[in-house]
Structure 1
Amino acid sequence: MGNMLDYDKTYAEFKWDVPEYFNFSRDVLDKWAQDSDKLAIWWVDDNDNEVKQTYAGLCQRSRQLCNVLAEQGVKKGDVVVVVMPRLLEWWEINAACLRMGAVISPGTTQLTAKDLKYRFESSEAVCVITDEDIAPKVDEVRNECPSVKSFILVGSNREGWSNYEDLISGASDQFEAANTRSDDNAILYFTSGTTGYPKMTVHTQASYGIGHQITGKYWLDLTPDDLHWNLSDTGWAKAAWSSVFGPFNCGAALFVHHTPRFDIKKTLTNLEKYPVTTLCGPPTAYRMFVLEDLSKYQFKALRHVVAAGEPLNPEIIDTWEKFTGLKIRDGYGQTETVCLCGTFPCLEVRAGSMGKPSPGFIIEVVDDEGNILPRGQEGDIAIKVVPERPVGLFKEYWKNPDKTASSYRGNWYITGDRAVKDEDGYMWFVGRADDVILASGYRIGPFEVESALIEHPAVAESAVVSSPDEVRGEVVKAFVILAPGYQGSDELVKELQDYVKKVTAPYKYPRKIEFVEALPKTISGKIRRIELREKEWAKK
């Protein structure tokens, strides 16, 4: 029996319940920790090392870390930047920050020194916790980031850094959780936009801590008996969705595979070997799964699989179902939200659709004036915020009131994505309203890639758009006008790609580069990326 048996009934009867004071670690994690044997995390690495961590153990380590951070000068409301692969410590740090009311700001391990400096400065972070791969990048910019006072290193020793384990082993495990208000800041994400550098998206104890009850219970369909595997990297909001708040709200255990790179065969082998019951992955992963011989594998425990990030093509859904008997259920949301729409377990899967609005949300497709459009017409995906603002919506773009204000239109929060709602209430994703590229589940702002390219001497000007790709859905393509004296060649393409990898995070590099004489522009001189993008997609 699933958590949602009748969509219409659940949707009609759902009510948010938000107390004035709420602390996720105290009110949720500690509750599950009362059963001292209850499993929270089953961690494995590529060499088959395994660690099983209980809720009780996780909570104890998080209290020790609270004492460590307090001693290092971290106070309620202070920002702690955490950049780490899938190490157990990552979950301890999340639990500790939430417990003491500090604001955790996770980042992907692909960040460069320049990215880190931008994050430290804009968030006024006081503490950074990372591993030996990232620490040298932090050291490159630490003199320019006076707000950061505490440098904690996981897994090794380095001059100028405190060792995580040394600090914790000497710390008391008694710590009274901060009596945080539901609307106190708890998490800070940097999200890429079309223009300018990433914006700071702030979530509260409630918006993710309570809001993700929807994600865990209804979309992931989790119970205290499940072992849930989320393939997302710890740097993305998807990790908060499916690796922290979704499963832990439901008392499920989390399966974690710590690996430097995504390996298809190893992933399928792990799905077969371990009793994973539910799986959450980006569409890219499923596209790669169905290229393998799935008849060789048997996923005995697996009962429910979901995908999010971009629509899935029907062939992928059919092939996966043919070999596993399971339908891939799509879900939709943003860094700014919890799960907004989903093909919940009781709903029929319609390939290419992201399902129906989540309980607790009124979601419509609206026009430029904020009027609800007739079914079947394309418009902006909007969340109703008047008279009642749904819990799972972010608080604001921090320190950017103009950007926050521009996300609202009348009684609606405008997601920036476009869709069509059909006669039966299913939502069909059309694309971004702006030029943000969604490649392999990553959100890439064209501006950041263009800014990197322009720093190379061979590039006079560039425009970056999404381009269709069989495996990844869409990839980054750059149109480049060369500076005088340079000739386009395969060698130059490779050189520019490597250059972008070095200057921005590697996942942002343009997989396709086309040398052109001119770029389409508006009267005011702005590049018309939409024109280039439409041409690319017309070739499909």
Structure 2
Amino acid sequence: MTWHVTMPTESYERAREAFEWDLPDDYNAAHDLVGKHDDPDRPALYQAFPDGRRETFTFADLDRRSNRLANALAELGVGRGDRVGVVLPQVQANPITHLACWKLGAISMPLSVLFGPDGLGYRLDDSGATVAVVDGNNYETVDAAREDCPALEHVLEVDWHGRGYHDSATPFEPLVQDANPIFDPVDTDPDTPGVIMYTSGSTGQPKGVLHSQSVWVGHCPAFEMYFGLDLSETVCWTPADWAWIGALGDLLFPAWHYGRPVVGYPMEGFDPETAFELLAEFDVTSSFLPPTAIRMMMNTDADAYDLSLEAICSGGEPLTSEILEWADDELDGVAVNELYGQTEANLLVCNCDEWFPAVPGSMGKPVPGHDIGVVDPDTGEEVAVGEVGEIAVERGDDPVIFEEYWNQPEKTAEATVGSWHLTGDLGERDADGRLWFKSRDDDLIITSGYRVGPGEVEDAILEHPKIEQVGVVGISDEMRGEIIKAFCQPVSGVEGNELLAESVRSLVRESLAKHEYPREIEFVDELPTTTTGKIRRTDLREREE
């Protein structure tokens, strides 16, 4: 039977007052997304490739293929609670793997194709993943990390390029084709662990954020708001990596919850002309576009494309008035609705053109189903209107709030005060109920929509034999919001020059991730430190102001 989140749409106030989370006791994410629809032969995924190939997968196709993969994974020993890494771009094998895991009661783990061996190796080892599903571009990266991941028993390779498989890989497609298309999912409920997504904090190694299978349902009220409340003709696309909650939770899985099709395209680096071509070819009505992507598209002639676009949602940094004006002028009044969330608790606040117009710089108002406060992080008491506090969300039965940091109970406890989950973001609420982002309360860097922990970048740079000490901060950038800057202290006798700087950049790109390398490097004789020897990042940021 078809089931979906229902939200009164006659007014924002009515939706807030009447909304209730009412999930089935036997909730399973895979059944919700691809198995429940009254018309299973509707298109679910328009798969496009850079070489011009096009494929269409229906909800029934995805259901059967994930059944086959669930049977295949079970034969490999994957069962309830086991972790499976997914290192794939926007190809159908990516969501198929998640769906198969949830049918098995296993935990899927989206991982970016941008990660190098250190970045992937840490996450696969920390999670204890037993299987990784990768494509040919990333197979050697995962294989290089394998010796440091004792639990990793199987690496399945997806050959979407048509180049063939590595000799030591387990081919994905034959495994799926040879498996039984019938699978009886294990018993699950809304609280069954479903997915681990890694996020970087301001210090130390990345943290694994564990969510239940119902996390995607938690995104649905906001999905309705920023894409216009009426989803009957919606076609969705985002250029965002399907490893991030901003792509999976803001667009892909909510669209499938409502039975709406999504376009997939494995884009290697954002290209604004390709973006416009995809929007036009597939009559996309609704798109999640990070602010950096929008700024790049603003330099392209939108009038050259026959667009069906009706709404854009965007987040990661405050939207400027220039973006809203461009969409209004060049895209014939397309609404751009800002949203706010984080890996631990996503889509808490957004704008809705149908209910209240976006105001430049404001994140919007709390989404129905999420109780948001601006609080004193020490006491949990809400601060007065117009005062700055920490943005927080009432835990209650809210399905978007994470369960725990994987194997880090002390970090989980630190993110809670009373009944509030603390986001780590500072903001204020105005008299109209709008929320305004002020800053992080730590050193996290937000660049092109990615959240980057400086500690991980610093650890990677310190692997360079010619660097003695380093401090990493974010500095303002017109295109990307922030860029990563590293203040490097070379070892004694080594000259800091452009050759060394490029060597440092290459090290980070290759070992950590392509989006985490420092675009700017400044060599210094000495770094400011506390009395205990810690780098004073505040002092480094002040140098740039």
Tell me which interval the TM-score lies in, with the shorter structure as reference length: over 0.9
Q: Which residue number corresponds to residue 326 of structure 2?
A: 319
Identity %: 34
Q: Deviations over 1:314-336 (max 9, x none)?
A: 11221221111113110011111
Give yes or no for the alignment of 1:26 onto 2:24. no
How far apart, in 1, do the equivalents of 2:542 and 2:422 lie? 23
How far apart, in 2, do the equivalents of 1:279 and 1:455 lie? 40
Q: Which residue number corresponds to residue 137 of structure 1?
A: 141
Q: Deviations over 1:150-197 (max 9, x none)?
A: 221111322232211111111111111111121111001111111111
Shift in Å, 1:224: 4.2
Mapped contact 1:278–1:302 kept (Cα < 8 A): yes
Q: From 355, 378, 384, give the equivalent of 2:364.
A: 355
Cα gap change, 1:498 to 1:144, in 2 (>3 Å): closer
Q: From 256, 260, 266, give the equivalent of 2:274.
A: 266
Give yes or no for the alignment of 1:117 onto 2:121. yes
Q: Which amino acid in 1 is paired with 2:316?
A: G
Q: Which residue number corresponds to residue 509 of structure 1?
A: 517
Q: Deviations over 1:317-373 (max 9, x none)?
A: 212211111131100111112310000232111011110011111111112322211
Q: Which amino acid in 2 is paired with 1:290?
A: M
Q: How does 1:397-436 map to 2 (within 5 A)?
A: 397-436=405-444
Q: From 78, 82, 95, give the equivalent of 1:78.
A: 82
Secondary structure of 1:496's partner?
helix
How far apart, in 1, do the equivalents of 2:267 and 2:523 lie? 37
RMSD, aligned CA: 1.7
How far apart, in 2, do the equivalents of 1:4 and 1:459 lie? 57
Q: Deviations over 1:67-118 (max 9, x none)?
A: 1111111111110111011111112112111122111001001222222222
Give yes or no for the alignment of 1:334 onto 2:338. no
Shift in Å, 1:243: 4.2
Shift in Å, 1:393: 0.7
Secondary structure of 2:356's partner?
coil
Q: Deviations over 1:229-259 (max 9, x none)?
A: 1221022122221343211111111012222
Q: Which residue number corresponds to residue 41 of structure 2?
A: 37
Q: From 376, 385, 389, give the equivalent of 1:379.
A: 389
How far apart, in 2, do the equivalents of 1:242 and 1:3 lie? 20
How far apart, in 1, do the equivalents of 2:66 and 2:439 lie? 40
Q: Which residue number corresponds to residue 396 of structure 1?
A: 404
Mapped contact 2:212–2:399 kept (Cα < 8 A): no
Q: Which residue number corresponds to residue 461 of structure 1?
A: 469
How far apart, in 2, do the equivalents of 1:141 and 1:525 lie? 32
More displaced stretch, 374-383 vs 488-497: 488-497
Q: From 14, 20, 24, give the equivalent of 1:9.
A: 14
Mapped contact 1:459–1:480 kept (Cα < 8 A): yes
Secondary structure of 2:413's partner?
helix
How far apart, in 2, do the equivalents of 1:36 and 1:203 lie? 27
Q: Which residue number corresponds to residue 94 of structure 1?
A: 98
Mapped contact 2:225–2:351 kept (Cα < 8 A): no
Secondary structure of 2:484's partner?
strand
Give yes or no for the alignment of 1:445 onto 2:453. yes
Q: Which amino acid in 2 is paired with 1:216?
A: F
How far apart, in 2, do the equivalents of 1:516 and 1:144 lie? 34
Secondary structure of 1:288's partner?
helix
Q: Which amino acid in 1 is paired with 2:268?
A: P
Q: Deviations over 1:479-515 (max 9, x none)?
A: 1222221223233322222222123212111111122
Secondary structure of 1:306's partner?
strand
Q: Which residue number corresponds to residue 250 of structure 2?
A: 242
Cα gap change, 1:517 to 1:384, in 2 (>3 Å): same
Q: From 59, 63, 80, give the equivalent of 2:63.
A: 59
How far apart, in 1, do the equivalents of 2:231 and 2:69 lie? 28
Q: Which residue number corresponds to residue 370 of structure 1?
A: 380
Residue-pair matches, total: 531
Q: Which residue number corresponds to residue 472 of structure 1?
A: 480
How far apart, in 2, do the equivalents of 1:406 and 1:378 lie? 20
How far apart, in 2, do the equivalents of 1:109 and 1:431 lie? 29
Give yes or no for the alignment of 1:282 onto 2:290. yes
Mapped contact 1:4–1:344 kept (Cα < 8 A): no
More displaced stretch, 454-463 vs 9-18: 454-463
Mapped contact 1:282–1:308 kept (Cα < 8 A): yes
Secondary structure of 2:36's partner?
helix
How far apart, in 2, do the equivalents of 1:36 and 1:457 lie? 57
Q: Which amino acid in 2 is paired with 1:378?
A: V
Shift in Å, 1:402: 0.3
Shift in Å, 1:214: 2.1
Cα gap change, 1:483 to 1:199, in 2 (>3 Å): same
Shift in Å, 1:35: 1.4
Shift in Å, 1:3: 7.5
Q: Which residue number corresponds to residue 181 of structure 1?
A: 189
Q: Which amino acid in 1 is paired with 2:248?
A: A
Cα gap change, 1:81 to 1:322, in 2 (>3 Å): same
Shift in Å, 1:143: 3.3
How far apart, in 2, do the equivalents of 1:435 and 1:168 lie? 44
Give yes or no for the alignment of 1:227 onto 2:231. no
Q: Which runs of 5+ in 2 are unaligned?
A: 1-6
Mapped contact 1:217–1:250 kept (Cα < 8 A): no
Secondary structure of 2:501's partner?
helix
Mapped contact 1:217–1:246 kept (Cα < 8 A): no
Q: Deviations over 1:454-482 (max 9, x none)?
A: 22233221111110111111100111222
